[in-house]
Structure formats: C-alpha cells, structure tokens
C-alpha cells in the first residue's frame, strides 16, 4: 500500500477536530469516510455541517451499531477513532451515556474490526490529557519531584488553590508532564478516555495491528461547537464575549494548561499515520508552552477587540486540576512533530472566525447543571 491514496475512516469526523483532520487527509491525497452520529449538542438540527468537505463520504450513525460499523469499515486501510462524548463536568452526571459511547463504542469498533477481518495498516486513537489528573510538579523549597493527587473538595472550599509538598509543605511548581506519569483518574470522562486508549493498545498488541494513542491537550480553533457549554474553555469564553458577556473564570484564573492549535493537531495525526516509530506508543500532543486560563480569556478578548474583562469567580468544580502542560519530547523524537502555531496566531485566527458566528451562550446553564449535582460552588 502506497502512502498516498489510502481509504481512511474517521469516527466522529464531522466534529471540530475530525473535520479539520479530514481536510488534511484530503490535501494529502487520501480518500476520507466519516462516521458520525451528528449529535444535536454538537450539530444542532442533526444536519451535515457546511464546513465538512463535499469530498468526504459521510455515514450518519452510532459507533455502537454493529450494522453501521460493517458499512463504515468496508475497504478501509487506516482508522482514526475520534468518536467520543466530551466534557469533564457533564460526564459526572451523565455517567451511563459517557461510558456507553466512549468505552462501549470503542469495544464495538474493535469487535467489528476483528469480525470483518479487514487488513488495516494503522489505528490512531484520540486519547486525552485528562487521564493524567494533576500534572508533574517540583517543590519550590526542597526541589523534590511530585505527582500529587487531585485536590480534595475541602481544600477547594477553602479557596486554597495551590498544591503543597508532602515533605516540607513548600509550594509545588508545575513542570512538563510526560507520558510516563501515572494516571490519576478524577472524572468519568477521563476514565472513559483511558478505556478507549487501553482497549485499542491491547487490541493492537494482541492482533499485531499498529496502534498509536495520541494524548491531546487543550485543542482550540475554528469550527468548535460554540453553543455546546462542554466543548472547551476557549469556545466557552468566546461564546460569552461575542454575546457581550464576560468570560467566567474558575478559581483565581492562574491554573496552567497547554493550548494547542487544531492545525498542529492535524499535523501530528498525519505524522502518526506515516511514522512506524509511533506504532504501539502513547504520545502527548500539545504546544509544550503553558498558558493560564486568565491569559486565554484576555487573549481572546484582545483578538476580538473586546474591552470586557474576565470575571474571576473564585468558584471551583469538583475534580478540576490545578496545572498540567505537555512534555512533547516523545512526539518530537518519534514523529518529528513540532508545533508551529503560536497562541497569538491561533487565537487571532479563532477571533477572525468568531466574528462571523452566532453562538448561544450556555455557560450559565452549565453552571446551574453542575450546581444541581453539587459539582461546583
């Protein structure tokens, strides 16, 4: 099989990241088939999104449906498994749906691959930084390395946001988080993403299928579902700003994350498909440069020309982590991955797209739902 002209299946490919990947695959000369349920939370009305290329073959259906999977797998050489219900907060009160779509959906896909006896050259599964829980740290006083557990609710209620060293009680300072860091599962979403990753890796080892799991950090860019309050903090902030409302920032806004442009994520996925060194590997995909949540809100506001300042709420969400950003040295070494889009460039592009969008601001609805279940205060 030549590197060009492969038949590629992208599950969940009508969404934000999947549709950008489909464009990248088409540009590289591949044929693209997408399996997507077109769930109303992401696709209001359940219609094919206008941004999805007309060159993409779309199969509308549930990844848990064996009959749909048989149709989707026909003649496929490479699979990108992106189908998943996303959102940490929502996963804590829609437990059955998250575990069914993400965990059982992956099991159904693997069963269908096995039963169909198709000859795949690669399976790439979208994993998540959420499985790490807290990132890696170093004590500012005694210099010990630390991988602390998630902060207890009592600490959050006391607005004690930062983490302390177990040995000397010095303040823990975040350092890059590598793939070797043990998982610290603190949400149903994180559990389901680890399930997806491990199911695919076990299948690959058992049946000799090259599998790569890409642990994505916070992806942002055009085509995010702005009316979905669980789509990601950048889109949530953006929806607030274009509706003339201030972004609502949890805690003190100084929590650090790794925001990576969807364009860099697409490049990483294309590299993973061609890289034999990535077979059987779990690999971080981020920008490798931390940014605070407060800075994200400020950058978006500046890019939109808005003078609305973010509101630092001092509220918390149960299970939220303090800091986590990616060590991307493995992606650099194994795949030659290098992030190219700066935060300034990426948020400027996002803002330009946002000016043409309409979005229903559902941030308050999200807060009400989380409050109802005792998940925020």
CATH number of the domain enclosing 257: 3.40.50.720
Residue 349 inside a domain? The answer is: yes
Per the DSSP assignment, residues forming a β-bridge with 35 are 11, 59
Place of tokens 């599964």: 125
Residue 351 inside a domain? The answer is: yes
| Neighbour-count burial of 330, counting CB atoms closer than 10 A to its CB (0-12 exposed, 13-18 middle, 19+ buried) | buried
Length of the chain: 377
Residue 145 inside a domain? The answer is: yes
Digitized pLDDT (tens) for each residue of the chain, 377 residues in all:
444 589 999 999 999 999 999 999 999 999 999 999 999 888 888 899 999 999 999 999 999 999 999 999 999 999 999 999 988 888 889 999 999 999 999 999 999 999 999 999 999 999 999 999 999 999 999 999 999 999 999 999 999 999 999 999 999 999 999 999 999 998 999 999 999 999 999 999 999 999 999 999 999 999 988 766 666 788 888 888 888 999 999 999 999 999 999 999 999 999 999 999 999 999 999 999 999 999 999 999 999 999 999 999 999 988 889 999 999 999 999 999 999 999 999 999 998 898 888 756 555 665 566 566 566 66
Residue 377 inside a domain? The answer is: no
Q: What is the largest CA-CA distance in the chain?
A: 60
Q: Residue 25 half-sphere exposure, CB side, CA atoms within 13 Å?
A: 31
Q: Specify the number of domains making up the chain.
A: 1
Place of tokens 């939220």: 320
Residue 2 inside a domain? The answer is: no
Residue 1 inside a domain? The answer is: no
Edge-first strand order for the sheet with 281-285 is 57-60, 31-36, 7-11, 78-81, 122-128, 211-216, 281-285
**What are the distances in angstroms from CA 5 to CA 28, 32, 96, 184?**
8, 10, 39, 40
Contact 13, 80 (CB under 8 A): yes
Residue 31 inside a domain? The answer is: yes
- The CB density around residue 54, as the number of other CB atoms within 10 Å, is 7
Residue 184 inside a domain? The answer is: yes
Q: What is the pLDDT of residue 166?
A: 95
Contact 251, 314 (CB under 8 A): yes
Long-range contacts from 354-357, C-beta under 8 angstroms, 24+ separation? 354/226, 354/238, 354/241, 354/242, 354/304, 355/242, 355/304, 357/226, 357/242
Residue 107 lies in domain: 7-372
Strands 57-60, 145-146: parallel, antiparallel or unpaired by DSSP?
A: unpaired
| Tokens representing residue 133 in the block | 């829980």
């Amino acid at each position: 099989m030549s590197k060009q002209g492969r038949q590629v299946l992208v599950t969940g490919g009508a969404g934000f990241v999947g549709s950008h990947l489909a464009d990248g695959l088409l540009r590289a000369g591949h044929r693209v088939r997408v399996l997507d349920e077109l769930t109303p939370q992401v696709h209001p009305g359940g219609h094919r999104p206008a941004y999805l290329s007309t060159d993409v073959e779309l199969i509308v259906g549930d990844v848990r449906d064996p009959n749909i999977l048989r149709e989707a797998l026909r003649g496929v050489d490479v699979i990108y498994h992106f189908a998943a219900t996303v959102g940490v907060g929502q996963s804590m009160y829609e437990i059955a749906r998250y575990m069914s779509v993400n965990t059982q959906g992956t099991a159904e896909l693997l069963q269908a691959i096995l039963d169909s006896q198709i000859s795949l050259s690669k399976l790439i599964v979208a994993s998540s930084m959420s499985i790490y829980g807290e990132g890696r740290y170093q004590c500012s006083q005694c210099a010990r390395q630390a991988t602390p557990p998630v902060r207890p609710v009592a600490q959050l209620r006391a607005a004690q946001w930062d983490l302390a060293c177990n040995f000397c009680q010095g303040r823990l300072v975040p350092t890059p988080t590598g793939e070797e860091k043990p998982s610290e599962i603190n949400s149903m979403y994180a559990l389901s993403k680890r399930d997806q990753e491990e199911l695919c890796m076990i299948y690959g080892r058992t049946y000799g299928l090259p599998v790569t799991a890409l642990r994505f950090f916070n992806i942002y860019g055009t085509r995010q579902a702005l009316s979905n309050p669980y789509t990601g903090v950048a889109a949530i902030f953006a929806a607030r700003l274009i509706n003339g409302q201030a972004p609502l920032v949890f805690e003190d806004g100084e929590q650090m994350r790794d925001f990576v442009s969807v364009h860099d994520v697409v490049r990483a996925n294309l590299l993973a498909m061609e890289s034999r060194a990535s077979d059987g590997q779990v690999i971080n995909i981020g920008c490798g440069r931390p940014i605070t949540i407060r800075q994200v809100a400020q950058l978006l506001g500046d890019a939109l020309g808005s003078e609305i300042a973010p509101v630092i709420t001092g509220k918390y969400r149960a299970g939220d982590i303090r800091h986590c950003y990616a060590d991307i040295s493995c992606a650099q070494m194994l795949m030659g991955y290098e992030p190219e889009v700066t935060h300034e460039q990426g948020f400027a592009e996002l803002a330009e797209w946002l000016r043409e969008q309409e979005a229903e601001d559902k941030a308050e609805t999200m807060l009400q739902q989380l409050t109802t279940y005792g998940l925020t205060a």
